[in-house]
């Protein structure tokens, strides 16, 4: 720790009509003061973690409060290190924390009652019946939590709505959702209120505020933080209690490691004795085999056959869809001035969606040919006679390469497609991973986000409409109008410490763009 540096953690839910202007203002202010960290601006407010010299963080606070929208903020301060963040990131997002509710919650209208740390302490001492609901990710909980707290069974904050049945039995009880600094619980507690929980509080200032006032007491272990410190303590070493357990040998530890397979990067708890000589660790034998060269070889990529077959398919299917499907293509020329490679992300409505892939580019596009992320070959064994076309030689000649399945490892599953992108060829992918069962967009999986992380490729959202449950009768009677809308390329910046949650969130952001295009 370096007392010359301070880390500021704060948020505020407040209406912001001009988030892009606020982003530009904040970016310049932070750059002028030499601050690094993460700052998210949305129409609903601002969410910030920054580090700089103590003098400059105070100047930042003073400048921020000159805007009346940002008065009455609870700033959480802690001693910095001088390098807690690698760089400054200032972004505009749809939400300052991702909950993705169909009907959003405004914490200024509906939220849990704020409970001061001192009041919560009194509740513990008096024996009052109440229940702490931990709204953080499981790895945060594993190294530190309130005694007797209830962890929601989720890997991402946005999964909270689907996990409420886990605490259904507490609807008539006093519940206190908690998180690191309070921002997640503003909405989470509001969600509980809206779902009929009768007595909902939230810990004012989050766990960090309680630990500052009452270290080594009801909160056991250490507090996970999203910067290079990884964890932070408020107690003395002699009083500290370690609650984390090594994933490999089950001994006590609070030391995290990211899997040595950088393309996996899974976060694990790993003690010093279970690490390799260089201090790194693998999450499991499959990643170890992958890094040590025992994984399946990347399939040799063909380019000539896909190029020819895709051009032939373009002509044939274009005529068919134009005549019988009243095909409309929007934005097809959006990419000709852009530098590839691209990841074309489609919503998945029909088994024949892939026949529409060629139309994202003009016939003579410089970005041809493209390749496709296909399901594992084992899946096509259930397709009957159609399996002859899927997953085999003909499939490959069209540019479709199956994933390696069964490993629960993006780097292992998508190694062929990663190699394709690194050779400057574009790919097509369904972020949902499977066809929609009801016509609505499904949740994204993490494969798209992983490929962005591994290659830095731009993502082009593509919306397909008019194809859901299309029958031959509907098609040849010209009852449908098929529309393909090609969006503008999206450039994502994913942290070095990317996790599965971040990959999934990237996919969700792309699906949100597709959703807008379909409206």
How far, in Å, CA of 254 to CA of 265, rounded? 18
Q: How far apart, in Å, are the Cα atoms of 449 and each of 283, 313, 410, 462, 502?
A: 20, 29, 10, 16, 7
Tokens in use for 476? 């040849």
Tokens in use for 167? 């605490």
How far, in Å, CA of 212 to CA of 223, rounded? 11
Annotated active-site residue 249? The verdict is no
Helical ranges in 195-303 per DSSP H:
206-213, 285-291
- Helical axes 415-422 vs 447-455, angle rounded to 10°: 40
How far, in Å, CA of 296 to CA of 233, rounded? 44
Tokens in use for 178? 């908690």
- CB contact set of 330 (below 8 Å; sequence gap of 6+): 483, 484, 485, 486
Query: Cα-flanking dihedrals φ and ψ of residue 421, to 5°?
Result: -65, -40
- Helical axes 447-455 vs 500-518, angle rounded to 10°: 110
Reference 24, options 44, 43, 7, 39; nearest CA is 39
- 498 close to 453: Cβ distance less than 8 angstroms: yes
Query: Considering 30, 179, 274, 428, which one is annotated as catalytic?
Result: 179
Reference 444, options 100, 153, 164; nearest CA is 100
- R_g of the chain computed on alpha carbons: 25
- CB contact set of 383 (below 8 Å; sequence gap of 6+): 390
How far, in Å, CA of 370 to CA of 309, rounded? 11
Helix (H, G, I), strand (E, B) or coil at 163: helix
Tokens 């609070």 label which residue? Answer: 254
Tokens in use for 71? 């008065």
Q: In the chain, how long is the greatest CA-to-CA distance?
A: 79
How far, in Å, CA of 34 to CA of 88, rounded? 9
The strand pairing partners of 6, in sequence order, are 52, 79
- CB contact set of 148 (below 8 Å; sequence gap of 6+): 132
What amino acid positions are annotated as catalytic residues? 179
């Amino acid at each position: 720790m370096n007392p010359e540096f301070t880390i500021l953690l704060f948020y505020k839910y407040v209406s912001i009509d001009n988030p892009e202007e606020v982003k530009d203002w904040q970016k310049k202010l932070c750059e002028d003061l030499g601050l690094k960290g993460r700052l998210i601006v949305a129409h609903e407010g601002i969410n910030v973690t920054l580090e700089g010299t103590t003098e400059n963080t105070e100047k930042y606070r003073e400048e921020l409060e000159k805007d009346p929208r940002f008065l009455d903020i609870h700033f959480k301060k802690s001693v910095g290190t001088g390098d807690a963040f690698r760089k400054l990131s200032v972004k505009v997002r749809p939400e300052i924390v991702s909950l993705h509710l169909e009907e959003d919650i405004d914490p200024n209208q509906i939220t849990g009652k704020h409970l001061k740390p001192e009041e919560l302490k009194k509740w513990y001492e008096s024996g009052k019946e109440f229940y702490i609901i931990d709204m953080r990710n499981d790895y945060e909980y594993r190294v530190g939590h309130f005694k007797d707290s209830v962890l929601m069974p989720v890997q991402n904050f946005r999964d909270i709505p689907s996990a409420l049945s886990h605490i259904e039995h507490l609807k008539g009880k006093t519940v206190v959702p908690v998180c690191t600094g309070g921002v997640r619980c503003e909405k989470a507690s509001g969600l509980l209120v809206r779902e009929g929980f009768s007595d909902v509080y939230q810990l004012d200032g989050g766990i960090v505020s309680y630990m500052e006032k009452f270290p080594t007491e009801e909160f056991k272990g250490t507090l996970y933080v999203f910067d290079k410190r990884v964890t932070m303590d408020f107690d003395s070493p002699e009083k500290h209690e370690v609650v984390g357990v090594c994933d490999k040998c089950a001994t006590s530890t609070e030391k995290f490691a990211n899997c040595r397979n950088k393309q996996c990067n899974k976060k694990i708890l790993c003690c010093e004795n279970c690490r390799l000589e260089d201090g790194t660790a693998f999450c499991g034998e499959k990643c170890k085999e992958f890094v040590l060269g025992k994984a399946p070889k990347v399939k040799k990529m063909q380019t000539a056959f896909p190029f020819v077959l895709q051009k032939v398919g373009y002509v044939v299917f274009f005529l068919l869809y134009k005549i019988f499907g009243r095909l409309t293509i929007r934005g097809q020329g959006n990419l000709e001035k852009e530098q590839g490679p691209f990841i074309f992300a489609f919503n998945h409505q029909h088994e024949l969606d892939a026949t529409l892939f060629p139309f994202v580019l003009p016939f003579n596009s410089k970005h041809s040919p493209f390749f496709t992320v296909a399901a594992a070959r084992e899946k096509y064994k259930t397709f009957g006679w159609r399996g002859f076309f899927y997953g085999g030689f003909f499939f490959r000649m069209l540019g479709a390469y199956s994933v390696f399945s069964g490993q629960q490892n993006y780097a292992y599953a998508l190694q062929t497609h990663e190699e394709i992108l690194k050779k400057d060829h574009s790919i097509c992918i369904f972020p949902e991973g499977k066809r929609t069962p009801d016509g609505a967009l499904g949740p994204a999986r993490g494969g798209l986000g992983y490929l962005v992380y591994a290659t830095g490729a731009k993502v082009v959202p593509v919306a397909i409409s008019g194809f859901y449950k299309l029958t031959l009768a509907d098609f040849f009677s010209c009852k449908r109008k098929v529309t393909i809308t090609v969006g503008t390329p999206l450039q994502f910046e994913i942290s070095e410490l990317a996790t599965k949650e971040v990959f999934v969130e990237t996919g969700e952001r792309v699906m949100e763009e597709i959703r807008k295009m379909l409206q």
